[in-house]
């Protein structure tokens, strides 16, 4: 067993873990956050996407020990006050408004991929958006509404003159 200490959504989670435990399993089973989904467990579907130090990664491909002493944002950490206020982030709100989800299974990974993109590229092209979500599979939609949702979020952020960081696109009252 190896002790790891990972900051998950602003809260430090310390545990003794097996060296082979994935970050996905750490988030779901140790931190108790079930919003990060296990899809393929091979890194091809994107359902398990989280942000590690602001970068979108597939948590099924990263060991928990590799994330030791790092900041991780899961879908529960997106929104006002790292998800604790219950407010949706601008990206989450745009997904709802643009109908960028259907069954919702891929949505957490899509939202986090979008959050990372918009933190680095505040004025993305449609091509930028498609590239950013290219590792996230959605079997329900044709991706058009997902792309529209990300472009809507980018527009809202640009019109507010708001510089964001992954997991902190929140706290903004829309309307």
pLDDT exceeds cutoff 70 at 161: no
Over residues 15-19, mean pLDDT? 98
Q: Please give the Cα distance from 23 to 50 (Å, whole number).
A: 9
Residue 165 scores a pLDDT above 70: no
pLDDT-based confidence at residue 166 (cuts at 50, 70, 90): very low
Residue 168 has pLDDT above 60, yes or no: no
Contacts for 73 with CB less than 8 Å, ≥ 6 apart? 8, 9, 50, 51, 82, 112, 115, 166, 167
71 beta partners: 7
Q: Is the pLDDT of residue 164 over 60?
A: no
- Average pLDDT over every residue of 66-95: 90
Mean local confidence (pLDDT), 27-43: 96
What's residue 96's pLDDT?
Answer: 94
Distances (CA, A) of 134 to 18, 20, 44: 32, 27, 10
All domains of the chain in start order, with CATH:
2-77 (3.10.20.30), 90-159 (1.10.150.120)
Q: Which residue has the higher pLDDT, 57 or 82?
A: 57
pLDDT score, position 102: 87
* b/e per residue 16-51 (b: at least 16 CB within 10 A): ebeeebbbbbbbbebbebebbbebeeebebbbbbbb
What is the pTM (predicted TM-score) of this model? Answer: 0.87
- In angstroms, the Cα distances linking 89 to 45, 52, 86 are 23, 18, 9
pLDDT of residue 27: 99
Banded model confidence at residue 86, pLDDT cuts 50, 70, 90:
confident
pLDDT for 20 equals: 98
Q: What is the DSSP letter of 2?
A: E
């Amino acid at each position: 067993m190896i002790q790891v200490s990972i900051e998950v959504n602003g809260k430090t989670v310390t545990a003794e873990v097996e060296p082979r435990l994935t970050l996905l399993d750490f988030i779901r089973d140790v931190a108790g956050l079930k919003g990060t989904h296990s899809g393929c467990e091979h890194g091809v579907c994107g359902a398990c996407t989280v942000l590690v130090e602001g970068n979108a990664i597939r948590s099924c491909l990263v060991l928990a020990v590799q994330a030791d002493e790092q900041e991780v944002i899961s879908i529960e950490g997106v929104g006002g006050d790292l998800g604790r206020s219950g407010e949706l982030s601008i990206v989450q709100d745009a997904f709802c408004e643009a109908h960028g989800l259907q069954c919702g299974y891929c949505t957490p990974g899509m939202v986090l991929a979008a959050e990372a993109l918009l933190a680095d590229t505040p004025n993305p092209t449609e091509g930028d958006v498609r590239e950013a979500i290219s590792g996230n599979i959605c079997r329900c939609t044709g991706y058009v509404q997902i792309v529209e949702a990300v472009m809507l979020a980018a527009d809202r952020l640009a019109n507010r003159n708001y510089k964001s960081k992954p997991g902190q696109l929140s706290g903004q009252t829309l309307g």
